[in-house]
Amino acid sequence: MALDGLVVHSLVRELQTCVGGRISKVHMPTGNDIVLQLRAQGRNVKLILSANPTYPRVHFTEQTFTNPMEAPMFCMLLRKHCEGGVIESISQPGLERIIRFQVRQRDELGDISSKVIIVEIMGRHSNIILLDPATHTIIDGIHHVTPAISSYRIVMPGSAYTPPPEQHKAHPFETDKQRFVALLTAPQADAPHDHADSAMKKADSPTAEPPWDRRLVASFSGLSPLVARELVYRAEPALSDSSTPHLSAELIWDPFDALMHHLQHDGGEPQICVQPSGGKQSFSILELTHLHGESTRYESVSECLEAFYGDKAERDTVKQRVSDLLRFLQNERSKNTKKLEKLHATMEEAKDADKFRISGELLTASMHQIQKGDKQVEVINYYDEEQRPVRIGLDPLLTPSENAQRYFKKYTKSKNSLIAVREQIDHTHNEIAYLDSLLQQLGTASLSDVEEIRDELVEQGYIRDRNKKARKKKVNQRPLLSCFTSSEGVPIYVGKNNTQNEYLTNRLAQSGDTWLHTKDIPGSHVVIRSAQFGDATLHEAARLAAFFSQAKSSSQVPVDYTLIKHVRKPTGAKPGFVIYDHQRTLFVTPDAEGVKQMPVTIK
């Protein structure tokens, strides 16, 4: 579900703790997201403003972001006008999905200037706009909207700011019972029109009256279809077809009025409901009893949104970035699988090599029976226990001796091909294992991990270097690693790709550290950076190794662990490939929630 006006209302109420706070840093980790680091009420907080077309949102966050080497232009502009500034106010116009941040800052000349950051949370039309309130002109927006895109409004530097079109709905906080009933019982043609709900209305017949939940959405701003269905469900007694429209509207008023009163005075009860069928998640600022699912309550709207979205936005961005790599790796794996089948077929054919040797030896022993020009000869097979005769084909143009040598040459050729085919089979198996490891790594990769994997494929000669100049800057650059902290306070490092695995295992880790990896399953290298730790740390590290592997959805995953001094990389091996000994094995079940709760930093 998208953020509706009621969720935004509760969120803005929560964000009032930032008023008076100072913006210390501005970052732009992706093309859709802005992260503000604030110092407010004696503590440091991070606020994410996202205009992601699929997951637009605003909330406090504990998530760690990796920023690009060079800040984008919009980020530089925000730093110029807002960094070091004080947030004077945070407001929501009406119950629209819009949040306005009023920021006061001193400019280059020391004069006080005010700017407004407007976050529009509107699905694929979401935007973040920096506005000069004195002239009401746009300084810039994270997404530009040209006249070719929209005839209603333009979002370009220097253009006048035009708010999104109003829907002319009633404000639910300013509605009494009489007006509520009148709006809900008004004929459909007279009811305010909701553009977002027009597709659903088309499915109804022209003469049919809209359901009560749609009437609520069409009449009042800030209400999503999910909340409207919940209000109708809460009506007591339950609505029936025999009820008059006026009576039904009066029954809906009680839960509607209770919710609005609660939101105005208490700020709502943010929670996520997981539906029993299909496991679909929905969040709201009231309990969704009509879904009959399991609900989890949160202390704040930010915690609820952080739990709901998690890393969905990043995973969605990563999925777009890696689509070409995924296709390439899957095609390469398919080619190697077919190659392996052909090699095994060649092996079966080459197993007849001994027959050629036996034929050559039998011809040598029976040379006196053969004349040049014979096409075949029948001789006793001395290698057969029953001494049965066998027919051997001959080349009539060759002498008996040359025919025997011909079979010996066939034997030698088949024998040599067996050796080559076995080498090719081993090489192909290694290639498939390497491709499987890359596919697994792409499944859990962050945006920075994707670039490291792409660089690795360039270095290994699998793909062309699309941007040589940009890559030259990364020479000898130390990769960033995820460092988890165990319940015993011990650091546990995890490599998310082969570049990180190589650095972690071969350079960072010391001989007395403990190394973990899933047994015979593609996955991450995990290192416990301490010689002293308890069973709790060992099991937590093993669960990390299982979670960041191809078996993350399995149970009782085997994880090998040994000291770093027993781990080594063979000469000429693929990146990330190691061999090890003196290992012991643990069986653990990956726990996604447990991993999320572990403290983690990027080092």
Q: Which domain holds residue 403?
A: 321-444
Q: 293 and 332: one domain?
A: no
**Is the residue at 471 inside a domain?**
no
State whether 491 and 427 are in the same domain: no
Same domain, 131 and 217: no
Region 193-214: mean pLDDT is: 54
* pLDDT per residue as tens digits for the range 318-370: 787 788 889 999 999 999 999 999 998 888 777 777 788 888 888 888 888 88
Classify residue 202: in a domain, yes or no.
no
- How far, rounded to the nearest angstrom, does the alpha carbon of residue 519 sit from its chain's CA centroid? 25
Question: 253: closest CA among 188, 180, 191?
Answer: 180
Q: 504-556: per-residue pLDDT in tens?
A: 999 999 999 999 999 999 999 999 999 999 999 999 999 999 999 999 989 99
Number of domains in the chain: 4
Q: What is the pLDDT of residue 340?
A: 93
422 belongs to a structural domain: yes
**Is residue 262 included in any domain, yes or no?**
yes
Tell whether 107 and 22 lie within a shared domain: yes
Q: Do 293 and 329 sit in the same domain of this protein?
A: no
Q: Residues 385-408: what's their mean pLDDT?
A: 89
Q: What angle do CA 360, 363, 364 make, to 5 degrees?
A: 85
Residue 441 contacts residue 449 (beta carbons within 8 Å): yes
pLDDT tens string 444-490:
787 778 888 888 888 888 888 766 555 454 555 788 899 999 999 99
Please tell me whether residues 9 and 155 are part of one structural domain: yes
The pLDDT value given to residue 539: 95
Residue 337 inside a domain? The answer is yes
Rounded to 10°, the helix 245-265/212-219 angle is: 50
Residue ranges of alpha helices (H) inside 351-467 are 353-365, 400-443, 447-459
What's the mean pLDDT in 138-158? 92
Claim to verify: residue 348 and residue 260 sit in the same structural domain:
no
Mean pLDDT across the stretch 560-569? 95
**How much is the pLDDT for 188?**
56
Of 434, 432, 424, 429, which is closest to residue 578 (Cα–Cα)? 434
pLDDT value, residue 13:
94
**Single pTM value for the model:** 0.68
Which pLDDT score, from 0 to 100, does residue 159 have?
Answer: 95
At which of 395, 421, 444 does a domain end? 444
The reply to whether 193 falls in a domain is no
CA neighbours closer than 13 Å in the CB half-sphere of residue 270:
23
Q: For residue 413, what pLDDT band results from cuts at 50, 70 and 90? A: confident
Is 540 part of a structural domain of the chain?
Answer: yes
Sign of CA dihedral 106, 107, 113, 117: negative
Residue 450 lies in a domain: no
> What's the mean pLDDT when you consider all of the chain?
88
Same domain for 426 and 292:
no
Q: How far apart are CA 507 and CA 340, in angstroms?
A: 35
Q: Please tell me whether residues 9 and 154 are part of one structural domain.
A: yes
| Structural domain ending residue among the three candidates 264, 297, 330 | 297
Q: Are residues 546 and 402 in the same domain?
A: no
Both 27 and 122 in one domain: the answer is yes
Nearest to 170, CA basis, from 277, 242, 95, 66: 95
Share of the chain above pLDDT 70, in %: 94
Are 423 and 513 contained in the same domain?
A: no
